[in-house]
Structure 1
Amino acid sequence: MSGLLPFAAALDQLLTGVEPLPAETLPLDACAGRVLAEDVSARLTQPPFAAAAMDGYAIRWTDLHRPWQVVGESAAGHGWPGTLGAGEAVRIFTGAPVPAGADVIVVQEEVARTGETARLTGEGPPRIGAHIRPQGQDFAAGERLLAAGTRLSAAHLGLAAAGGHGTLAVVRRPRVTLIATGDELVLPGATPGPGQIVSSNPAMLTALLRAAGAEVYDPGLIPDNRAALAAALTAAEADLIITIGGASVGDHDLVVPVLKELGAALDFWKIALRPGKPLLAGRLGGTRVLGLPGNPVSAFVTALLFAVPLVSRLAGRAHDLPLETLPVAAPLPANGARRDHLRARRTPAGAEPFARQDSALLSLLAQAELLIIREAHAPAAPAGTPVTCIALDMFHSVF
């Protein structure tokens, strides 16, 4: 295994110097899931006036236990313009401005009213200021509402809207071009001819990369032809080009030689990883390039370990995968010189690796809830030994 770059060194080399992409300004309804590029401060005070928290009557606390003369009404969007005097009350509704002079609201269930005269019939409010939301209770103009780097949720967008913002500056989504190569491939939904198989990787990787924050472009299947591959590579307008297949050393594996012909600089090629040894990384001009293996499980694992962190960092997101320590449910043999990733399921006894780990078995990948990480040269692990796992079920549900 001499000459194979260790996993940690390869990932560190890939991510060194990677910064979030420049910002773009978008309307709020296009910002969900995006990452803020700059702090957001309130342009408004919320609420902008003292507001009623309940339906009832606005009065002066000192008048609580005497009859009141109802002199007007305050509704949301239609406040009462006067100043409350001694013995006076204003009928008020939730969200309406509290009249000047009033300092408490009596809820309507504790008031008896005859014509324009009203009085307290219940226990009344517990204190002065009860059932009134003070001006600026939520936030004041100039206050920081959201910090740069925040990944925007629905609640964040509501807060920004209330603070007076109709647009936000967010980190631009990384543009990723997927290039799947192979004469043997046909598009999903087509019937394969003799010696052909369906191209399943682009659909799988597109979903994975979009979940990490990317915009993904797929130009279609590229044949095993130098000119066609070179044309696809040079036509890509992307922050990251991901090739799928063709990165090994066979006569029909053209990715590396074509990249070299185009003047690409390769940072590494082949790493101490299982599945996924024939992984390459480099640059073609100003565009990053990742070359993934063609076997579906190898493509998925290398994309998860390398493409997802890279795209996440470009998108301004945290890029740590969800890890979990569980007892292994069955004994594991000693590992070799490559870091391994075993597909597994959750059981009451812990992480149970599947008996078959072939890198072409998509059915088992679809069933996998975990990837058990076996570091290079890890000793044999009896059942019950704690093992570190990538929690695929958590990744798919929250990433």
Structure 2
Amino acid sequence: MITVEEARATVLAGIGVLEPERVSALESIGRVLAADIVSDIDVAPFDNSAMDGYAVRFADVANASEDAPVRLRVVEHVPAGAFPAMPVGPGEATRIMTGAPVPEGADAVVMVERTAEEEDGAVAVIMASVREGENIRRKAEDVRRGEVVLAAGEVVGPAAVGLLAAVGAAQPLVYRKPRVAIVATGDELVAIDEYPGPGKIRNSNSYSLAAQVLDAGGEPVVLDVARDNFDDTVAILSRAPEFDLMVSTGGVSMGDYDVVKDVLERIGTMDFWKVAMRPGAPQTHGTIGGTPFFGLPGNPTSTMVGFELFVRPVVLKMAGHTALDRPRHTAVLAHDVKKKPDRRYFLRARATRQSDGTYVAALSGAQSSAMLTSMHHANCLLVLPEGESFFPAGATAECIRIDRKEGSE
């Protein structure tokens, strides 16, 4: 039996980044850039109005007020998407919409709310002064042509997608999503749309694992259930080389029909079989045909915790991420917690931030590894170390925030 740290180091040691691919700007959300994005234009490409209103000469309106308005002749109307044909001279103004280019001669824009019209719009009545340059967005004030706007290694978020579109990067180069095969094992499993008969249960693990793969940025492929016999399990696990990663659930313990460990030793290589942790001590890892393989326990919470600790960082690393750890913080226990001292516990809990900035953590429900409800209600895994068996209320413990992304706070 190895430690959690030893297991994690082992699973990450041989993992490299997958090859890059080009995808659409929108499809790049959440992906890691494999190359810099360089702007082909200035953003903004021209001086433009930040307001609906009137483009004016500052010198004409410097002293304008409601008590002493300034009247200017309107020489042109310029909507967004058009380009001004007339310069603004002394005593003149251009009616302008947000985003429209500022005409030559104008050096400020007065918002429409501070103006009025006369003579059917031929005259603008300016009732407030403005500063020189006010309400004008300058050419290249956001991005200059040739500038690197997004660097290789950055994770694409919604604002980055907007930048991709603004600079014409319609097909950014990103690292490929890992294709992750998911294999549930067991004669007792039936489909989720089937009513389970005597001795049967629905195959929930394939769905929770697929959801975890999606959440980590991978592409899940749910394979057929491997029944509890050697040949059937060999046939399905032998498909591992078709994928970047394979994850099975169940069949890794000491039961009469737990054959995954034996199959792995027959058709692949095994790095470890047990980890000093709870839930989920039977954590199997190795390779099949060069593809990393994880044999997770069959109990639902054990499966999910094992994925969180060992599989998720592998999926992230394959996809080009460098931040592989969920945020952690300490929390004060809201109640006593007992455990066995021989292994590290990862308990489902809920951490609540207090007014002084500290956190208080309470278990989110029953801690049986067969129960998913406490995992659903949890926002963290409460980490209780080896060597101790009793943690009184008021003691502190570390929380792994499963509700927050890697690299966040």
Task: Tell me, yes or no, whether TM beats 0.5.
Answer: yes
Choose from 74, 78, 101 the match for 1:74: 78
Find the counterpart in structure 2 of residue 326 from structure 1: 331
Choose from 279, 283, 301 the match for 1:297: 301
Find the counterpart in structure 1 of residue 231 from structure 2: 227
Find the counterpart in structure 1 of residue 53 from structure 2: 56
Deviation at 1:393, TM superposition (A): 4.4
Map Cα deviations across residues 8-32 of structure 1 (whole Å, 9 max, x no partner). Answer: 1110111124233221111112122
Q: 1:73 to 1:302 in 2, by over 3 A?
A: same
Deviation at 1:191, TM superposition (A): 2.5
Contact 2:348–2:365 at 8 Å: present in 1 too? no
RMSD: 2.6
CA distance in 1, matches of 2:365, 2:108: 71
Find the counterpart in structure 1 of residue 213 from structure 2: 209
Deviation at 1:45, TM superposition (A): 1.0
One-letter amino acid of the structure 1 residue matched with residue 251 of structure 2: G
Contact 1:173–1:214 at 8 Å: present in 2 too? yes
CA distance in 1, matches of 2:56, 2:349: 67
Find the counterpart in structure 2 of residue 155 from structure 1: 159
Q: Does residue 1:101 correspond to 2:105, yes or no? A: yes
Map Cα deviations across residues 362-394 of structure 1 (whole Å, 9 max, x no partner). Answer: 333333343221111135322210011223444
Contact 1:69–1:116 at 8 Å: present in 2 too? no
Find the counterpart in structure 1 of residue 67 from structure 2: none
CA distance in 2, matches of 1:183, 1:259: 19
Q: 1:49 to 1:332 in 2, by over 3 A?
A: same
CA distance in 1, matches of 2:143, 2:135: 18
Choose from 20, 28, 31 the match for 2:28: 31
CA distance in 2, matches of 1:353, 1:120: 67
One-letter amino acid of the structure 2 residue matched with residue 35 of structure 1: V
Q: Does residue 1:19 correspond to 2:29, yes or no? A: no
List gaps (5 residues or longer) in structure 2: 64-69
Three-state SS of the structure 2 residue aligned to 1:256 is helix
Map Cα deviations across residues 188-247 of structure 1 (whole Å, 9 max, x no partner). Answer: 232333322222211111111210111001112111232222221222421110111112
CA distance in 1, matches of 2:362, 2:73: 76
Three-state SS of the structure 1 residue aligned to 2:54 is strand
CA distance in 2, matches of 1:132, 1:345: 49
Find the counterpart in structure 2 of residue 363 from structure 1: 373
Find the counterpart in structure 2 of residue 342 from structure 1: 347
Q: How does 1:105-254 map to 2 (within 5 A)?
A: 105-108=109-112, 109-110=114-115, 112-114=117-119, 118=123, 120-125=125-130, 127-236=131-240, 237-254=242-259
One-letter amino acid of the structure 2 residue matched with residue 244 of structure 1: T
Three-state SS of the structure 1 residue aligned to 2:180 is strand
Q: Does residue 1:375 correspond to 2:379, yes or no? A: no
Identity over aligned pairs, percent: 38
Contact 2:56–2:108 at 8 Å: present in 1 too? yes
Structure 1 range deviating more: 157-166 or 103-112: 103-112
Q: 1:306 to 1:94 in 2, by over 3 A?
A: same
Contact 1:73–1:79 at 8 Å: present in 2 too? no
Contact 1:335–1:374 at 8 Å: present in 2 too? no
Find the counterpart in structure 1 of residue 66 from structure 2: none
Three-state SS of the structure 1 residue aligned to 2:51 is coil
Structure 1 range deviating more: 82-91 or 52-61: 82-91
Structure 1 range deviating more: 84-93 or 303-312: 84-93
CA distance in 2, matches of 1:111, 1:345: 58
Q: 1:84 to 1:376 in 2, by over 3 A?
A: same
Deviation at 1:95, TM superposition (A): 1.4
Find the counterpart in structure 2 of residue 8 from structure 1: 5
One-letter amino acid of the structure 2 residue matched with residue 9 of structure 1: E
Q: 1:121 to 1:272 in 2, by over 3 A?
A: closer
Structure 1 range deviating more: 80-89 or 192-201: 80-89
Q: TM-score, normalised by structure 2?
A: 0.87
One-letter amino acid of the structure 2 residue matched with residue 257 of structure 1: D
CA distance in 1, matches of 2:209, 2:3: 24
Q: 1:56 to 1:368 in 2, by over 3 A?
A: closer
CA distance in 1, matches of 2:73, 2:376: 72
Deviation at 1:299, TM superposition (A): 1.1
Three-state SS of the structure 2 residue aligned to 1:206 is helix
CA distance in 2, matches of 1:255, 1:311: 22
Q: 1:352 to 1:68 in 2, by over 3 A?
A: closer
Find the counterpart in structure 2 of residue 91 from structure 1: 95
Paired residue total: 393
Structure 1 range deviating more: 90-99 or 338-347: 338-347
Deviation at 1:178, TM superposition (A): 0.6
Deviation at 1:36, TM superposition (A): 1.8
One-letter amino acid of the structure 2 residue matched with residue 167 of structure 1: Q
Deviation at 1:137, TM superposition (A): 1.6
Contact 2:189–2:200 at 8 Å: present in 1 too? yes
Structure 1 range deviating more: 190-199 or 348-357: 348-357
Structure 1 range deviating more: 237-246 or 162-171: 162-171
